[in-house]
Amino acid sequence: MMITVHTTLPLSHHRLHRIDFELATFGEQDLLWLPHYAQLARAGRKRKAEHLAGRIAAIHALSEYDEKGVPGIGEQRQPLWPAGVYGSISHSESTALAVVSRQPVGVDLETLFTPALSDELADSIVDLQEQRLLRAAPLPFPLALTVAFSAKESLFKAWSAIAAPHPGFHSARVIAIGPDSLHLQPSAHFSPRLAGQILTLRWAKIAQQIVTVTQ
């Protein structure tokens, strides 16, 4: 049986449920309690373990709302949440996070970018105006860029139901970043309903990982 450790993390007004897992202890039989285990048949071993850890985190999160089902897999590979609740799952390395809310919510977990990776990815994540803002922030640029990347991922997860099919990172712009928050402004390319609004996300650094969640 895969060894897992469950902890919680308060961020913004959410309680995030964290599962740390040991990949070496994962066995194919561990998936059998998932109703949709057959849909994972072609996935790689690490992907299966990540998925399992994410669903374990989701079950803990759903228990706060007296929900006991396991989120299935939708047509776009998204988790299927019970009626009346919204949720989000993220994975990075040997950690999974899940959050559930009565309002649209997104969570993302990323490993901190190295300086070299930051230089390589910057143009694909932020435009020149955003880069200037992030480089002027009182944060190392790799940290600021990782937060921006993660925040945009969280935003996409929270609002995927009303977002364009493939909005891209440049469809939401960073307009401010602070020691524990970031403000994004979606464009009409992201969602006509959200265009021009300023949305706040919270972030935290835990060791070499960055967590963001929509507020």
Q: Which of 104, 115, 113 has its CA nearest to residue 186? A: 104
Note whether 81 and 112 are same-domain residues.
no
Chain centroid to CA 132: 25
Give the relative orientation of helices 128-136 and 141-158 as an angle to the nearest 10 degrees: 120
Structural domain including 146 reads 108-214
Note whether 123 and 34 are same-domain residues.
no
Overall number of domains in the chain: 2
Note whether 146 and 85 are same-domain residues.
no
Instruction: Please say which residue of 102, 125, 140 terminates a domain.
Output: 102
pLDDT in tens, 19-68: 999 999 999 999 998 999 999 999 999 999 999 999 999 999 999 999 98
Note whether 87 and 121 are same-domain residues.
no
- Place 166 in a pLDDT band, splitting at 50, 70 and 90: confident
Rounded Cα distance between 198 and 195, Å, is: 9
Instruction: Please say which residue of 71, 102, 133 terminates a domain.
Output: 102
Instruction: Please say which residue of 102, 127, 159 terminates a domain.
Output: 102
Note whether 122 and 181 are same-domain residues.
yes
CATH, residue 163: 3.90.470.20
pLDDT in tens, 98-120: 999 999 999 999 999 999 999 99
Q: What angle do CA 72, 76, 80 make, to 5 degrees?
A: 25
Note whether 129 and 200 are same-domain residues.
yes
Rounded Cα distance between 49 and 29, Å, is: 11
Dihedral (C-alpha) 213, 161, 146, 10: value to the nearest 10 degrees?
A: 10
* pLDDT at residue 215 greater than cutoff 90: no
Rounded Cα distance between 179 and 41, Å, is: 42
| Mean pLDDT, rounded, of the chain | 96
